[in-house]
């Protein structure tokens, strides 16, 4: 009850509003990422142990969270192990149970959560995959191309200057207090626990071999906890001097709220409309059981992927560039995707993979490709690598990129055209989709006509016009 009262007090509301305007959290805050769950679990652990101590119950939940988070993110142990050691060796005040009982509560929670997770993964048939994935992430992370944290930390200068100023002030004040009071300052009564929490997160960022900017999600919140407690102490001094209040308001606006607005307004330029349209068209063009989608990211979760190895990540891309295989082109040949959604991630693939895609897929837009082929005028032979329904039409009415004008005129679907004059494997063509089997086929038509073969899937008779797109704009983050 006391925790809730503090949360909805004026000070609690100020803390919530201040945390909500930390620009670094908005860089990735709109994404459904494992990092969001990891952050929530770590903050919840801190709350139940430090903010709302309840003895055995707190430690039971802390132990359960420590294990649960390991199933959320492989890197969770970097944060949970130091935090767990700190609260086990030095229990915060307010826990009336002996240290031995608190430790037993933590162990009980940890074991209980492990049993639950093991049973859940076993029932789902995913336990072996979890172990394999953990081993893979460990080896990949060890061999990844390393770079420093400067790219991430540099962003804070423009995004959270007030937070950095308060953080520096808090660290200086902590050092002064330690020198003044000595061992008496080593307690839970002051800001030392929050300082250690922040320094632990900073250490985790510094030892991370690939500290991408999204890792600020695991640094800025702990910096805020430390800085805010220090700011509360400063406010007690400043609030007694009314002449300083306008100055403090101006400082808040121009060193916190203004940088927040400048850093986050870019989200207005990156809506989800295009991504949703691509996902819906991918679903319309595929069967949920038979037609995979390849995008390297799992953008269409309702459709199968070509292989568990087809996920493209900066930590694993070297396996496709330098490894013995199989390569993406091999995975596509073994289980062809009906739809390919390229992005900046697919740009990482070697040229041989792009050649394979261009050979067997056609472009509805820069960010959406389907199985098919654009033949030379008069027709020719083509290869089908995935059976299903295809539409055969002239390029002018194919709805492929470049076959219609851009702008308003391009949004108007062309009227249904008469049958394309010519034959498919010796059979006269019609204006209806045809079922094509795996193998080589041949189209013959007039020399003035350029035929196209375009995948339309189990339900559609014609792929919709998508309009211009930019594959580099998909999954844009920092």
Picking from 247, 267, 287, the residue at the C-terminal end of a domain is 267
Residues 332 and 429 in one domain: yes
Tens digit of pLDDT at every position of the chain (478 positions):
344 445 567 777 888 888 889 988 888 755 667 888 899 999 999 988 888 788 889 999 999 999 999 998 888 999 999 999 999 999 888 888 888 999 999 999 999 999 999 998 888 887 877 776 666 566 555 555 678 888 889 999 999 999 999 999 999 999 999 999 888 888 888 889 999 999 999 999 998 888 888 889 899 999 999 999 999 888 887 777 777 778 888 988 999 999 999 988 888 877 888 899 999 999 999 999 999 999 988 889 999 999 888 888 776 777 777 777 789 999 999 999 999 999 999 999 999 999 999 999 999 999 999 999 999 999 999 999 999 999 999 998 889 998 888 777 666 666 666 678 899 999 998 888 999 999 999 999 999 899 999 999 999 998 888 888 899 888 766 5
Do 465 and 383 reside in the same domain of the chain?
yes
Do the beta carbons of residue 57 and residue 64 sit within 8 Å?
no
Select from 228, 245, 267 the last residue of a domain: 267
**CA gap 389, 437 in Å, rounded:** 9
Asked if residue 186 and residue 150 are part of one domain, the reply reads: yes
Residues 236 and 124 in one domain: yes
256: in domain: yes
Torsion sign (Cα): 367, 370, 376, 378: negative
pLDDT in tens, 331-368: 999 999 999 999 999 999 999 999 999 999 999 999 99
User: 388 has which bridge partners?
Assistant: 436
> Distance between CA 67 and CA 120 in Å, rounded?
14
478 inside domain:
no
Asked if 230 and 362 sit in the same domain, the reply is no
Give the whole-angstrom CA distance, residue 294 versus residue 304. Answer: 9
Q: Of 267, 287, 308, at which residue does a domain stop?
A: 267
Same domain, 110 and 252: yes
Q: Which helix (H) or strand (E) holds 379?
A: strand 379-384
The sign one gets for the Cα dihedral 321, 324, 325, 327 is positive
Q: Are 361 and 292 in contact (CB under 8 A)?
A: no
238 and 294 together in one domain: no
Kind of pairing between the strands at 361-365 and 339-340: unpaired
Let me know if residue 427 belongs to a domain: yes
Residues 357, 255 within the same domain: no
Q: What is the domain extent for residue 252? A: 2-267
Q: What does the DSSP assignment read for 253-315? A: IIIIIHHHHHHHGGGGG--SHHHHHHHHHHHHTS-TTT--EE-SS---TTS--S-GGG---TT
Dihedral of CA 438/444/445/447: which sign?
positive
Count of the separate structural domains present in the chain:
2
Q: Please check whether residues 168 and 299 belong to one and the same domain.
A: no
Closest CA to 359 of 347, 372, 350, 348: 372
pLDDT tens-place string over residues 294-330 = 998 888 999 999 988 888 877 677 777 777 778 999 9
DSSP of 313-369 = -TTTHHHHHHSSS--HHHHHHHS--SEE---TTGGGS-HHHHHHHHHHEEEEETTEE
**Is the domain of 261 the same as that of 307?**
no
Please provide the DSSP assignment of 117-155 as one string: HHHHHHHHT-HHHHHHHHHHHHHHHHTSPP--THHHHHH
């Amino acid at each position: 009850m006391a925790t809730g009262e503090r949360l909805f007090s004026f000070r609690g509301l100020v803390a919530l509003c201040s945390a909500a305007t930390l620009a670094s959290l908005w860089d990735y805050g709109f994404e459904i990422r494992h990092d969001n769950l990891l952050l929530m679990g770590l903050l919840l652990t801190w709350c139940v142990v430090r903010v709302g101590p309840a003895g055995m119950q707190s430690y039971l939940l802390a132990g359960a969270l420590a294990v649960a988070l390991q199933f959320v993110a492989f890197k969770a142990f970097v944060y949970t192990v130091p935090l767990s050691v700190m609260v086990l060796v030095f229990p915060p005040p307010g826990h009336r149970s002996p240290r031995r009982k608190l430790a037993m509560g933590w162990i009980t929670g940890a074991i209980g959560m492990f049993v639950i997770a093991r049973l859940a993964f076993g029932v789902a048939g995913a336990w072996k995959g979890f172990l394999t994935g953990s081993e893979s992430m460990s080896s990949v992370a060890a061999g990844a191309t390393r770079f420093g944290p400067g790219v991430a930390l540099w962003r804070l200068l423009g995004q959270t200057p007030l937070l950095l100023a308060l953080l520096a002030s808090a660290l200086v004040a902590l050092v002064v207090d330690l020198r003044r009071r000595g061992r008496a300052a080593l307690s839970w009564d002051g800001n030392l626990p929050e300082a250690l929490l922040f320094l632990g997160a900073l250490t985790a960022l510094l030892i991370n071999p690939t500290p991408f900017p999204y890792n600020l999600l695991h640094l800025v919140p702990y910096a805020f906890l430390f800085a805010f407690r220090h700011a509360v102490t400063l406010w007690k001094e400043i609030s007694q001097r009314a002449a300083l209040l306008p100055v403090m308001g101006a400082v808040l606006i121009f060193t916190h709220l203004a940088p927040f607005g400048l850093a986050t307004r870019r989200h207005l330029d990156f809506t989800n409309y295009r991504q949703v349209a691509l996902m819906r068209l991918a679903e319309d063009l595929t069967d949920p059981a038979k037609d995979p989608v390849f995008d390297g990211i799992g953008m269409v979760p309702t459709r199968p992927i070509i292989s568990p190895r087809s996920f493209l990540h900066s930590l694993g891309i070297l396996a496709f560039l330098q490894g013995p295989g199989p390569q993406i082109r091999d995975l596509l040949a073994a289980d062809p995707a009906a739809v390919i959604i390229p992005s900046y991630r697919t740009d990482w693939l070697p040229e041989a993979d792009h050649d394979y895609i261009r050979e067997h897929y056609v472009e509805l837009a820069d960010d959406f490709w389907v199985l098919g082929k654009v033949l030379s005028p008069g027709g020719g032979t083509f290869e089908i690598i995935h059976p299903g329904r295809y539409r055969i039409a002239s390029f002018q009415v194919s709805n492929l990129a470049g076959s219609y004008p851009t702008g308003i005129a391009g949004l108007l679907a062309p009227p249904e055209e008469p049958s394309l004059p010519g034959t498919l494997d010796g059979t006269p063509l019609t204006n209806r989709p045809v079922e094509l089997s795996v193998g080589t086929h041949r189209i013959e038509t007039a020399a003035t006509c350029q035929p196209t073969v375009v995948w339309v899937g189990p339900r559609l008779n014609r792929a919709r016009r998508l309009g211009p797109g930019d594959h580099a704009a998909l999954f844009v983050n920092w």
